[in-house]
Amino acid sequence: MTKYILKRIMYMIFVFAAMSIILFFLYNLIPGDPARAEVEHLKETLNPEQYEKAYQDARERMGLNDKTIVRYKRWAVGVLNRDLGRSQVHKKDVTELVKTPLKNTIKINLISVFLGLAITIPLGIYCAVRRNSNFDKVVQVLTIVGYSIPAFIFGLLFIYVFAVKLKWFPVSGMGTPNLKGSSWVLFKDQLWHLGLPLMVMTLASLGGLTRYVRAAMSDALSMDYIKTARAKGLKEKTVIMSHAWRNALLPIVTLLVGWFASIFYGSLVIERMFNLNGLGKLLIDSLNSRDYNVVMAIQLLYIMVALFSNLITDISYGIVDPRVRVDR
């Protein structure tokens, strides 16, 4: 097992390096000259020769005259030393800049994941137990509707109903500006602001997950050991909760790992829609303002999270189901 994990980690490092090279070269294809931007304001005050010299100095200082591969090496060394460069727009170190949005994104997504689980697991189990009942059929259709409609359409609808018409929630934002008070007041205010985005996010994730839980549970319920358990005269509750559910958990757990990974990049549309200061919104804003150091950092974070979650998924397969041998 340890050998397998080590092998996987080596492979992850390789993939990460390859992706970072591809991204770095991609970003360098983009027209734009940071040195020119830096000396632009001097154009008025200096004569052309001095300006040209200042520009060339800036290029030299930023290392723009080097070959791309040399620059990549320098950048990669920086990344390894936890220096992700500076944001051109915010005039801040990227590591500094990313902190708050990352925290917000994780917070929002964690809540929505738990809300989603709290709804989908009981619902999925119930549907599987009452398979082909009318309730199940209705839920089946609703889940198709649920995963067919993109989050932003839910968002538009919810804003219209709950923020514009009923005025229960604010339209956007993370908190009332300049609000002062005890931490309880602040917390309540934030909860009030996050109510709508959380509802939309949870709702958008219900469809797919309910179907998945139902399918896993149905599979488990059709097994022979369930018949045995029933034949033994066990209570139906025991059959479902301890015999079927614990076996259905296997595929669900592996799915959950992937889902927790999406905590980092799942709320892109929602953050943009409700103007929440999260990682996704930072990514969109930075892309729009061509602040590529930030984009690069977020992208690398995404890839890292994705690779790790893949690894954990594979390992968890082995842990939750001893029949699966990952390290063969």
Partner 1 sequence: MSDNKVIDKKADEKKKKSFFRLMISNLFGRKEELSIFEEEEVQSPFRTVINTFKENKFAMGGLIVFLLIFATVLIGPLIKPIDLSFHETSQQNVEPGFDMMKIPDALNGKIQDIAIGPTFSIGASTDGNLYTWGKTKISPTIDIKNTPEDMGNIVKLAAGFDHIIALNDEGKVFGWGSNRQKQSKVPAEISQVRNIKEIYAGYQCSLILTEDGHTHFFGNSMNNDFNIFHPYQGQLDKVAFTSDAVIGLTFDGEVVYLGTLKNSYSKFPEGMGKVKDIASTASTVAALGEDGKVYVWGNISQKSKENKIPEFSGKVVSINGGRYHYTALTEDGKVIAWGGNTYKQSEVPKGLKDIEKVYTGYYQNYAIGKDGKATTWGLKGYLLGTDELGRDIFTRLLNGGRMSMTIGAVAVIISTIIGVVVGSVSGYFGGRIDNILQRLSEIVASLPFLPFAMILSALIGNSMTSRQKTILIMVILGFLSWTSLQRLVRAQVLSVREQEYVIAAKSLGIKKSHIVFKHILPNVISVIIVSATLSFATSMLTEASLSYLGFGVQAPQPTWGNMLYGANNSVVIQNYWWRWVFASALLGTCVICINLIGDGLRDAIDPKSQER
**Residue 80 touching partner 1 (CB under 8 A):** no
Single residue of 174, 213, 257, 298 touching partner 1 by CB under 8 A: 298
With vertex at residue 128, the alpha carbon angle to CA 127 and CA 133, rounded to the nearest 5 degrees, is 55
171 vs 39: CA distance, rounded Å: 41
| Cβ distance to partner 1 smaller for residue 89 or 303 | 303
Site for partner 1 in 97-156 (CB under 8 A): 141, 144-145, 147-153, 156
Single residue of 233, 288, 322, 323 touching partner 1 by CB under 8 A: 288
Site for partner 1 in 23-62 (CB under 8 A): 26-27, 29-31
292 vs 304: CA distance, rounded Å: 18
| Cβ distance to partner 1 smaller for residue 149 or 186 | 149
Distance of CA 324 to the CA centre of its chain: 28
Left, alpha or beta for 116 (phi > 0: left; psi -120 to 50: alpha)?
alpha
Handedness of CA 181, 183, 189, 193 (dihedral sign): positive
For residue 160, the minimal CB distance to partner 1 (Å) is 5
Give alpha helix (H) positions in 159-291: 183-221, 224-231, 236-238, 245-265, 268-274, 279-288
Site for partner 1 in 194-253 (CB under 8 A): 214-215, 218-219, 222
**Residue 310 touching partner 1 (CB under 8 A):** yes
Contact in structure between 267 and 108 (CB atoms under 8 Å): yes
For residue 260, the minimal CB distance to partner 1 (Å) is 13
With vertex at residue 144, the alpha carbon angle to CA 208 and CA 209, rounded to the nearest 5 degrees, is 15
Single residue of 7, 10, 135, 160 touching partner 1 by CB under 8 A: 160
For residue 36, the minimal CB distance to partner 1 (Å) is 17
**Residue 320 touching partner 1 (CB under 8 A):** no
Contact in structure between 324 and 317 (CB atoms under 8 Å): yes
H/E stretch holding 104 reads helix 94-129
For residue 306, the minimal CB distance to partner 1 (Å) is 4
**Residue 302 touching partner 1 (CB under 8 A):** yes
**Residue 15 touching partner 1 (CB under 8 A):** yes
Distance of CA 94 to the CA centre of its chain: 19
| Cβ distance to partner 1 smaller for residue 18 or 179 | 18
Contact in structure between 94 and 84 (CB atoms under 8 Å): yes
Q: What are phi and psi of 93, to 5 degrees?
A: -70, 140
Site for partner 1 in 252-281 (CB under 8 A): 262, 264-265, 268-269, 272-273, 280
Say how many residues touch partner 1, by CB under 8 A: 54
Q: Which residues bind partner 1 (CB under 8 A)?
A: 11, 15, 18-19, 26-27, 29-31, 141, 144-145, 147-153, 156-157, 159-160, 163-164, 171-172, 214-215, 218-219, 222, 262, 264-265, 268-269, 272-273, 280, 283-284, 287-288, 295, 298-299, 302-303, 305-307, 309-310
